[in-house]
Amino acid sequence: MNRVLILGGSGFVGSHVCNKLAALPWRITLPTRHEAHARHLQHLPRVDMVQADVNDPAVLRRLVLGHDAVINLVAILHGDARAFERMHVVLVKHLTQACLDAGVHRLVHVSALGVDGQVPDKAPSLYLRSKSQGEAVLRQAATEGLQLTLLRPSVIFGAQDKFLNLFARLQKLFPVIPLAGAQARFQPVWVEDVAHAIVHCLETPHTAGQTYELCGPQVFTLKALVELAGALCGVRHGRGRPILALPEALGRLQARLMAWLPGPPLMSLDNLDSMRVDNVASGKLPGLQALGITPTSLGAIGPTYLGSPEYQDPCLALRRYRQGG
């Protein structure tokens, strides 16, 4: 039986990947700093949970040993330059070196749309620059024998997402939604399609050496996505709240103010900088269809969770909003 090490496997996308792999002949090693974060996966067969800090190079080397493949899902959306470099660049350097040293040649890495490993320093945000620098490290390792597949998803939606769920909760709380980056474009992709793509690439050797853009079938502006979230969760009988598109200066002020709120940031200046690059398929790289996957529309899935009873309770919406979940 093949063995796979999944970094970031207890998160939103990783949980879906683990569920899919649990039905296949793979044994999964799932490192986590806090076992409680992965408790929802303990019922799965052939999942070995290990309490470990993957940012420790020595620990990472021990984890990699004895595996046939690695999936890397580790990423952060908020932080300073040091945090982005640590998670998106330094960790990738340690991981690729550990793989090469241990003779583990297969790596599936989840990156992001807007990333360019060829010219990493030209990206407009810390997030995109660090992800691009991480891709550059991976491409160098591929010249040394690493069998690498890169996946670049657009924003990912699904029942536990922190994107459309956030907009739905905000619409339950406020009469008007002031919105920075209202005209930024996205091509949202369903988490199940992303998980399917990851598993397919893991099991298909000829995907090594390829980069895939994972996108849904439709392009939306950020304003349209916020309006859709309000409509699907039933605000004002499906009409949603009025959206006030902010000019750039006010949008950046809003992002600064949001950064001071308790809990995980809802919006940061770096997020706004990232939105300068359209989060849509370039058309230059293969997509989900090349992996035999028909992209699922947001319209088909959004109502199944944005129409849930929790959005009928403003007190619960406020509590989730404050928790950043």
**Number of C-alpha atoms within 13 angstroms, CB side, residue 94?**
19
pTM summary value: 0.93
pLDDT of residue 321: 44
- Work out whether strand 156-157 and strand 189-190 pair parallel, antiparallel, or are unpaired: parallel
Q: How do residues 66-75 score in pLDDT, each as one tens digit? A: 999 999 999 9
pLDDT of residue 234: 85
pLDDT of residue 322: 46
Q: Which amino acid is at 140?
A: Q
pLDDT of residue 315: 47
Q: With a cut of 70, list the residues of the chain below it in pLDDT.
A: 263, 308-325
pLDDT of residue 171: 85
Give the C-alpha distances (Å, rounded to integers) separating 158 from 193, 217, 298.
10, 15, 9
- Taking the C-alpha atoms of residue 20 and residue 198, their distance in angstroms, rounded to an integer, is 10
- Work out whether strand 185-186 and strand 177-179 pair parallel, antiparallel, or are unpaired: unpaired
Beta-carbon count within 10 A of 242 CB? 12
The domains of the chain are located at 2-153, 157-186+218-280+297-323
Give me the CATH code for the 2-153 domain, please. 3.40.50.720
Give the C-alpha distances (Å, rounded to integers) separating 323 from 7, 15, 78, 83, 161.
24, 20, 16, 21, 14
Closest C-alpha among 125, 28, 36, 118 to residue 73: 28
Q: How do residues 5-61 score in pLDDT, each as one tens digit? A: 999 999 999 999 999 999 999 999 999 988 888 888 988 999 999 999 999 999 999
Residue 272 phi/psi, 5° resolution?
-60, -40
Residue 118 phi/psi, 5° resolution?
-80, -40
Using DSSP's 3-state secondary structure scheme, residue 54 falls into coil
Closest C-alpha among 64, 155, 149, 54 to residue 109: 149
CB contact at 8 A, 178 and 170: no
Residue reference for tokens 């700093």? 33
Residue environment code for 207-227, b if the CB has 16+ CB neighbours within 10 A, otherwise e: bbebbbbbbbeebbbbbbbbb
pLDDT of residue 39: 85
